[in-house]
Each structure stands twice: as C-alpha cells, then as structure tokens.
Structure 1
Amino acid sequence: MKGKNQRLHVQGQRLRRQRHVRKKLHGSAERPRLAIFRSSKHIYAQIINDDSATTLASAGTVEPSFRQESGYGGNKAAAAVVGKLVAERAKAAGIDKVCFDRRSYKYHGRIQALADAAREAGLEF
C-alpha cells in the first residue's frame, strides 16, 4: 500500500486497538479511568469518571509549571514527571485506585514510565 491508502489502513488499525482496550474499561466514582494521550512532543494524563463524564485530575507536559521544571516533554523522564504529578493530584482529590487506559499505545517506553511513576507516587491499578 502506498500513500493515502496506507495512512488510512494504519489509522484503522490504531482505532481498532483503541476500541479493543477501551471496551473493557469503564471509569466509575470508586475506580476512575486514567487515560493517556501521547504525541510526538508531549504526553497528557487525565483521571476521568465516565459515569458523570467529568475529569477529576489531569497533568501534561504543556503546563507552565512543567515547562519551568523540565522543559522538553517528549521523553521518558518527562512522562515520569507527568505520572507523578497526576498521582499527586489524584491523591489530593481523594482517589487511590484507577483503571489504566493506554489507548492504542503499547505498554512500553513513555507509557510505561508514566504508569510506573504513578504507581510509585501511590496510585493503585
């Protein structure tokens, strides 16, 4: 496949993987969902209650506090800082347990670094 057809094929595979992971997860008040979004330059994490469709806590590498502290947001060190930040904010909101939504990303690299840092900071999943 070349060009547009290949791009559409890859996007379809990504959406299929995302649906496969997401259909088994549902964030509730007792155990909200920790959703990750990764781009080439940044990484974001949100803790979401799907019952009420609200974001309870969030962190990302585009925040001014992160920018002053670390700078570049596209590496594993930055992902670890975001994981620690989101775990601290979740603890402040009274959240101890979450279910991890990795979307279509492999549990590897930046995703794994974020998850490990969140676990070390006290989140259970």
Structure 2
Amino acid sequence: MKFSKKVLLRLKNKNKKLKPAKYKLLKRNSLRGSMKGTLERPRLSVYRSNENIYAQIIDDITSNTLISCSTLDRDIKFDLKNGRTCNASRLMGQKLAKLSLRQNITKIVFDRGPYLYHGRIKALADGVRDGGVEF
C-alpha cells in the first residue's frame, strides 16, 4: 500500500481508528517506495529509539547489510554518557562514514524512515557528510 502525503494526513486527521503504529508503517512504506539502494549507491537506513540510535547501509538489490553502527558500539559508548544526544548521533555518523569509506562507498541514499529530518536524525546526517560521504 503506497499512499501520498495528503492521503496519509487525511487518514490521520479524519479516521480516529487509525492507530499510531499503523500510521507510522504507512508513512514509512510510502517514503521507502521512492528510494532503493543499489551497490553503487546503497541506502542508509536509520532507526531511532528513546535511548539510542541505529544506522545501517543496505544494498536492496541483494538484500545485504553492508555496514551497521549504533550508539551502543564500544568506541562511541565509552566517549559519551548516553546515546540519546545529538552529539552522540554526530559522532556515530562520523564513524559510519569512516567505515563506509573503508569499503569504497562514497555515495549513499539517505532513508530517514518515518522520522522528521530534525534533531538526532539531522545530526547523524551531518556527521556522515562531515566524514566525506555524499548524499
């Protein structure tokens, strides 16, 4: 099911029976339908929880995860108090960029998922850009 943004907002506003989890799933699927990761330009998928943030670089053609990183990794966890800050996201983005450049990945497609491009998601994207990877 692929819906436009207008339809999603109409469903959210008018249909009070649409649960938040279902709305989130519809929004994610409508966004993901427009982007696919290839081997030349893989997809950077982001998941944000209340405590941590996780990111992985995925090749959608072969359904392989090429690189994964989170704020629970040893290098990042010892440098910070907790993983729910923008500084932690930026640091993780820089580490992810370093790992991707080791595997000769210089261009990616950014998939923010159902999250707004704001706060920790934006800090992660800025960290990846600072590391030398192009969107």
TM > 0.5:
yes
SS in 1 for 2:69: strand
**Pair 1:114-2:124 in alignment:** yes
* Identity of matched residues, %: 38
1:76 is matched with: 86
The offset of 1:71, in angstroms, is: 2.9
1:46 and 2:56 correspond? yes
The secondary structure found in structure 1 opposite 2:61 is: coil
CA displacement, residues 59-112 of structure 1 (integer Å, 9 cap, x when unaligned): 101112211112310111111011111111000011000000000000000000
1:100 aligns with 2:110: yes
Question: Which is worse superposed, 38-47 or 67-76?
Answer: 67-76
Provide the C-alpha distance between the structure 2 equivalents of 1:8 and 1:20, rounded to a whole number of angstroms.
16
Task: Structure 1: state its 5+ residue gaps.
Answer: 1-5
Q: How many residues are paired up? A: 120
Normalising by structure 1, report the TM-score: 0.91
Q: Which runs of 4+ in 1 moved over 3 A?
A: none
RMSD over aligned Cα, in angstroms? 1.4
| TM-score of the superposed pair, with normalisation by structure 2 | 0.84
Aligned equivalent of 2:99, options 89, 92, 95: 89
Give the structure with higher Rg (CA): 2
Q: 2:47 aligned with 1:37, yes or no?
A: yes
| Amino acid in structure 2 at the alignment position of 1:86 | L
Aligned AA (1:71): K
List alignment gaps of at least 5 residues for structure 2. 1-15
Cα distance change on mapping 1:52 and 1:9 into 2, 3 Å = same
Residues 1:57 and 2:79 aligned together? no
Select the structure with the greater relative contact order (CA < 8 A; seq sep ≥ 6). 1
- Give the drift of 1:7: 9.3
CA distance in structure 1 between the aligned counterparts of 2:86 and 2:114, rounded to whole angstroms: 18
1:7/1:44 CA distance change after superposition, 3 Å: farther
